[in-house]
Amino acid sequence: MSARILVVDDSTSMRQMVSFALTSAGYDVEEAEDGVVALDHARKSRYDAVITDVNMPNMDGITLIRELRQLPDYKFTPLLMLTTESGADRKSDGRAAGATGWLVKPFDPDQLVATVRRVTG
């Protein structure tokens, strides 16, 4: 059974790109357009990794990560942030919230797949 990845981003094109890359690599991908939807999905289904953008309406990525860490099923799940800034503050905020790591946009789809492979392998 292939690993299931939850991809969260308010930009449709970004979601589609990430989805496509991961699906081509054999992963099962679920999309969500903001933190609220994502949390909902996460409660209903178990995912092996979550990739989330930071800036989203309704619930941003960092809050999402904090919320996810409260769920027993997601205590140790890899939660990755997609960040445009290489600014340290967002990363440290993310870390404080419990993020596993980050991917800086724009990223190379292959790199994305490799990273996902590492954390789900």
Which of 17, 95, 105, 107 is the binder for another protein (CB under 8 A)?
A: 95
Q: Which is nearer to another protein, 1 or 76 (CB)?
A: 76
Which of 69, 107, 109, 113 is the binder for another protein (CB under 8 A)?
A: 69
Query: Least distance to another protein from the beta carbon of 109, Å?
Result: 18
User: How far is Cα 117 from Cα 112, in angstroms, rounded to an integer?
Assistant: 8
User: How far is Cα 53 from Cα 80, in angstroms, rounded to an integer?
Assistant: 9
Which of 92, 108, 110, 111 is the binder for another protein (CB under 8 A)?
A: 92
**What separation in angstroms does the CA of 43 have from each of 54, 57, 91, 94, 112?**
20, 20, 25, 21, 25
Is residue 77 within 8 Å of residue 49, measured between CB atoms?
Answer: yes
* Segment interacting with another protein (CB under 8 A) among 10-18, 20-28, 32-40, 70-78: 70-78
